[in-house]
Amino acid sequence: MADKTTEVRLAFLAALENVANADELEKLRVEYIGKKGYVTDLLKEMKSLSNEEKKTFGQAVNVLKNEVNEKIAEKREDLKKKEIELENSRMPEFDISMPANLERGSYHPITLVQRQCEEIFKSMGFTVEDYSEVVTDYECFEALNIPKDHPARDMQDTYYLDNGQLLKTHTSAAQNAIYKKYRDQLVNEGKPIKAIFPGRCFRNEATDACHENTFFQMEGVMVGKNISISNLIFFMKTMLSEVFRKDIKVRLRPGFFPFVEPGFELDISCLICGGEGCPSCKHSGWLELCPCGMIHPEVLKAGGIDPEEYTGFAFGLGLTRLAMMKYGVKDIRDLNSGSLKTLSQFTDDK
């Protein structure tokens, strides 16, 4: 009988060598330790054995079963690692001196990261919302607990239209409308609000390697019962590990925004200089990538949601910065330049 376990074991190890993807691995798992698998079948043969034999044979089969389980888990990790390596190796390295490829069109790098983030959040049950670039003062500031004359407005000077409306300075300007759109579902059906809203933002800003007057953000909010900072951290971590597919250093520090309490800055270690300091990260080695926090009660109230009953988090991911870090674009201004030399390098990455 011991020969039989050895036989099954060797056959399994040989088959495992030839497994090339996750589907094949699953097939092999079922073939060996599924209900009708070879290892499971071995146990059925115990009936014909003496008590003494049953004991040793049973033990041997169990050892084999554990080994098969372990080897399959190892292989799964291995396949995943290989897949990520392949994906990373295909990622285009941005090089400003490359000639333009004018034969084929290509997606803008910001479109690429935006789509990737949308997929990640959609898979976690978030809806993707669209919102206007021209908004009212109420939407951009007042509804976000930033009354007229509040000093926080200084950091978000923008372009005003003759009719008093303005070009939105942040995607947070859509928060109020999103709360109003979904509050009935939240209150009547108990369905938490889970939405992301990517969009172009504008600020009257002096430009340099890491600042532009036009940039993209992606806001995300989640409101429901008992939503806490740990939910926020979970979603941020998942998003970053999916986008970068490698370990990156992050830090969370307190940050002030009138529409969250408490508020945080989530920074990532600059991937352009490896954290040493360079013009892309204002020589600090860190990049403010995703300010976030727990939604301020006044902001929930303005959206028609009772802050005594519901809580939520909000984040404002810098999509432009994310694209810079992911693709190694050193100067933010290259992204808005419309230069085909820059943009045509992203043709192959969907």
Residues that bind ligand PHE (CB under 6 A): 170, 172, 257, 260, 263, 291-293, 314-316
Nearest residue to ligand PHE, by Cβ distance, number only: 316
Q: CA 186, CA 194: separation in Å to the nearest integer?
A: 10
Identify how many contiguous H helices and E strands the chain contains and give both numbers.
12, 9
Least distance in angstroms from the C-beta of 293 to ligand PHE: 5
DSSP state of 216: E
Least distance in angstroms from the C-beta of 203 to ligand PHE: 9
Least distance in angstroms from the C-beta of 88 to ligand PHE: 29
Q: CA 171, CA 303: separation in Å to the nearest integer?
A: 15
Least distance in angstroms from the C-beta of 275 to ligand PHE: 23
Rank residues 68 and 335 by Cβ distance to ligand PHE and give the closer one. Answer: 335
DSSP state of 268: E
Least distance in angstroms from the C-beta of 175 to ligand PHE: 8
The strand pairing partners of 220, in sequence order, are 196, 315
Q: What is the largest CA-CA distance in the chain?
A: 95
Give the distance, in angstroms, between the CA of residue 129 and the centroid of all CA atoms in the same chain: 17
Rank residues 38 and 202 by Cβ distance to ligand PHE and give the closer one. Answer: 202
Rank residues 166 and 343 by Cβ distance to ligand PHE and give the closer one. Answer: 166
Rank residues 57 and 257 by Cβ distance to ligand PHE and give the closer one. Answer: 257
Q: CA 197, CA 109: separation in Å to the nearest integer?
A: 18
Q: Which of 202, 226, 222 is nearest to 212 (CA)?
A: 202
Sequence-separated contacts (24+) of 39-48 with Cβ below 8 Å: 39/8, 39/64, 39/65, 39/68, 42/4, 42/5, 42/8, 45/1, 45/4
Residues 6+ apart with CB under 8 A from 203: 156, 157, 158, 169, 213, 215
Least distance in angstroms from the C-beta of 23 to ligand PHE: 40
Least distance in angstroms from the C-beta of 83 to ligand PHE: 33
Rank residues 8 and 221 by Cβ distance to ligand PHE and give the closer one. Answer: 221
Rank residues 160 and 256 by Cβ distance to ligand PHE and give the closer one. Answer: 256
Rank residues 202 and 315 by Cβ distance to ligand PHE and give the closer one. Answer: 315
In the chain, which residue ranges form alpha helices assigned H by DSSP?
2-17, 22-33, 38-44, 51-90, 109-123, 137-140, 175-189, 229-244, 297-302, 319-327, 332-336, 340-343
Rank residues 42 and 113 by Cβ distance to ligand PHE and give the closer one. Answer: 113
- Span between the terminal Cα atoms of the chain, in Å: 54
Q: CA 325, CA 272: separation in Å to the nearest integer?
A: 7
Rank residues 166 and 260 by Cβ distance to ligand PHE and give the closer one. Answer: 260
Residues 6+ apart with CB under 8 A from 184: none
Least distance in angstroms from the C-beta of 172 to ligand PHE: 4
Least distance in angstroms from the C-beta of 316 to ligand PHE: 3
Environment class of 48 (CB within 10 Å of its CB; exposed 0-12, middle 13-18, buried 19+): exposed
